[in-house]
């Protein structure tokens, strides 16, 4: 299958090629700057691979461009107000044909209501202006996806009952979940508290993005940030775990019934 060219990123790649040649470097030289293969540089220059933020910065440094590539990367990514560790995934989710996500502790960002998002971000001790910018970015993410992108989520019931969130905020969030699931055809499954089988989802949250060319990319969270997983065997392991979690969870219809019941229990 021929790899799809992204015209916007092809222009970024053309700029990389121009700056590389001006610096008297070949593709192998550029590949060493980001510790990747010459073939990947070629794909970046042709617009069939999107660079991440660190790669753009490393190429700027190696080619002594004065920051041109990173600035252009920021303009194309449209993620100026998003934390650096999220940039790569947000770019990928916009290009994905399917996104699967597991969250044991909180409602996924794509499904958060404004007040819930503010509560979560407030706990990160950010300035009010930063919180406002992040909420605006978060609320826009779902609408920026391809409308044909399949979205599948598995949540622990605990994520919907955490006492850190005020009842009125959780009421809004539960209403929001029902609305977005119905409006966007999202598949949402909840793993109930009383599951009797051994839990498989003890690894923390993760997301699997499937791209148009068949590639699958995992973002997994850990205590110090996020890790990107692209090795096929490791991605397959994570994908299998997501399937196991779906088996443990209630069906989508049962999950919506549970969410509506939880909402009715809030005065």
What residue ranges of the chain are covered by domains with CATH 1.10.260.40?
A: 7-77
* pLDDT band at residue 224 under the 50/70/90 scheme: low
Report CA-CA distances (Å) from 12 to 28, 51, 71, 249: 18, 9, 10, 43
> Comparing C-alpha atoms, which of 101, 76, 49 is closest to residue 219?
101
Lowest mean pLDDT among 18-32, 93-107, 202-216: 202-216
State whether CATH 1.10.260.40 applies to domain 7-77.
yes
Mean pLDDT score, 208-228: 81
Angle at 86 between CA 250 and CA 104, to 5 degrees: 25
What stretch(es) of the chain map to CATH 3.30.870.10? 84-264
Residue 184, class by beta-carbon neighbours within 10 Å (0-12 exposed, 13-18 middle, 19+ buried)? middle
pLDDT of residue 136: 82
Confidence of residue 126 (pLDDT cuts 50, 70, 90): low
The CATH class of the 84-264 domain is alpha beta
pLDDT in tens, 24-57: 999 999 999 999 999 999 999 999 888 888 899 9
Tens-digit pLDDT profile for residues 246-262: 999 999 999 999 999 99
Q: How much is the pTM?
A: 0.68
* Nearby residues of 228 by Cβ (< 8 Å), 6 or more positions away: 88, 217, 218, 219
């Amino acid at each position: 299958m021929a790899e799809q060219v992204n015209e916007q990123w092809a222009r970024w790649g053309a700029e990389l090629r121009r700056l590389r040649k001006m610096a008297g470097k070949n593709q192998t030289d550029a590949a060493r700057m980001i510790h990747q293969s010459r073939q990947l540089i070629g794909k970046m220059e042709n617009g069939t691979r999107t660079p991440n933020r660190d790669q753009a910065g490393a190429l700027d440094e190696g080619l002594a461009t004065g920051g041109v590539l990173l600035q252009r990367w920021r303009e194309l990514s449209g993620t100026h107000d998003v934390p650096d560790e999220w940039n790569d995934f947000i770019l990928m989710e916009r290009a994905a044909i399917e996104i699967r996500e597991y969250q044991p502790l909180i409602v996924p960002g794509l499904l958060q209501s404004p007040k819930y998002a503010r509560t979560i971000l407030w706990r990160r001790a950010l300035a009010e202006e930063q919180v406002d910018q992040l909420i605006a970015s978060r609320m826009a993410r779902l609408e920026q996806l391809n409308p044909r992108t399949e979205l599948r989520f598995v949540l622990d019931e605990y994520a919907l009952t955490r006492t850190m969130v005020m009842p009125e905020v959780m009421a809004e969030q539960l209403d929001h979940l029902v609305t977005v699931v119905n409006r966007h055809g999202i598949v949402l499954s909840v793993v109930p508290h009383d599951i009797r089988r051994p839990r498989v989802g003890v690894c923390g949250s993760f997301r699997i993005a499937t791209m148009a060319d068949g590639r699958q990319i995992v973002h997994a969270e850990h205590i110090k940030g996020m890790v990107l997983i692209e090795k096929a065997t490791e991605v397959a392991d994570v994908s299998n775990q997501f399937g196991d979690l779906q088996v443990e969870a209630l069906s989508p219809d049962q999950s919506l019934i549970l969410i509506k019941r939880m909402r009715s229990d809030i005065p």
